[in-house]
Amino acid sequence: MSVSQNIMDRTEQVVLHTYNRFPVVFEKGEGVCLTDADGKEYLDFGAGIAVFALGYGNKSYNDALKNQIDKLIHTSNLYYHKPLCEAAEKIIAHTGLSRVFFTNSGAEAIEGAIKCARKYAYLKDGASDHEIIAMNHSFHGRTVGALSVTGNTHYQDPFKPLMGGVKFADFNDLDSVLAQITDKTCAIILETVQGEGGIFPADPEFLQGVRKICTEKDILLILDEIQCGMGRTGSWFACQHYGVEPDIMTCAKALGCGIPVGAFVLNEKAAAHSLVPGDHGTTYGGNPLACAAVSAVFDLFDEMDLVGHVQALTPYFEKKLDELVGKYDFLVKRRGMGFMQGLVVEGRPVGAIVKKALENGLVILSAGSDVIRLVPPLVITEKDIDEMIRRLEASF
């Protein structure tokens, strides 16, 4: 029995089976490559589901974490600590918003954003029957609140009844949003680029139209930038491409580049008229280790000009993917922004392609039922893209 098979068999005996894991045991990483327990190397174009933006083995990042571990890992939110201050300052500087609440995950960030929106509306009229408009085919997380605003009944049905007061509109259909608005609407929540739903960027007129409606009607706009934020689309946050500023933004994934951390970030209006002491909390959220990771990530993004790198390399990435679409009949289109790209597949099971790619030493993901999702570390080069194309074609 191989080392990997032994670990997989033991894991299945003790870990709850909520994932159909691929038959590989990753042991270490370097740059944009992973190595399994049996020594096989893989080119990673999944980045731990859009998390490991810096690539593996970045010495400055690792040193920052080791340094913080030797100082202080946890204190709770009853006290101040320097990494919290520094991480929050950097998020504010790069978002243009006003206040941060750190969480442990993206789903928790969504939960906090929902509570902010409902408290904001409650303070206006004292009512507790406000509604949130979310999008069909969206994905915001697996907790009950996040699942309630996730527009996919496949994820929801086994866990109903969920949180009430949620309506669904169609992404990129402004009339559909308008049709759901009432005097009870307190927030509209959407992903700037839908990820799990199939890599759908918002149309500029749609996102700008939703922002205009929210401003006119004093409805809070919540933008989920958990997957598409942190440089992935070629700007710090995808909404910055559109000139749209949300009232609340959720972040996670590449925010900590592997350390579990998320955040919801509020503008001055939402911060001044929503949560107060006693309304929300977390034992681990914003601990010194997580905040040291966030702070290091922002510093390294700036030092390495990763946003500029994504902008510079995106045309080549898109060109190579467009060439694939032109070459293979079962690839019907490419869509996406920056290093968040999807290839729409017709007539073949995407899962089989993803599995075959793994056999060929290429880590890719799926999105929805018919999309190959490519969300590599932001440090990839043209050479990496070429090698990805070679291994992907071999998997076809």
Please identify every residue annotated as catalytic: 139, 224, 253
Is the distance from CB of 356 to CB of 187 less than 8 angstroms? no
Largest CA distance in the chain: 66
b (16+ CB within 10 A) / e for 276-296? eeeebeeebbbbbbbbbbbbb
3-state secondary structure at position 181: coil
HSE at residue 227, side-chain half, CA atoms within 13 A, is 32
CB within 8 Å of 215: residues ≥ 6 apart: none
Cβ neighbours, 10 Å, residue 43: 23
Is the distance from CB of 203 to CB of 235 less than 8 angstroms? no
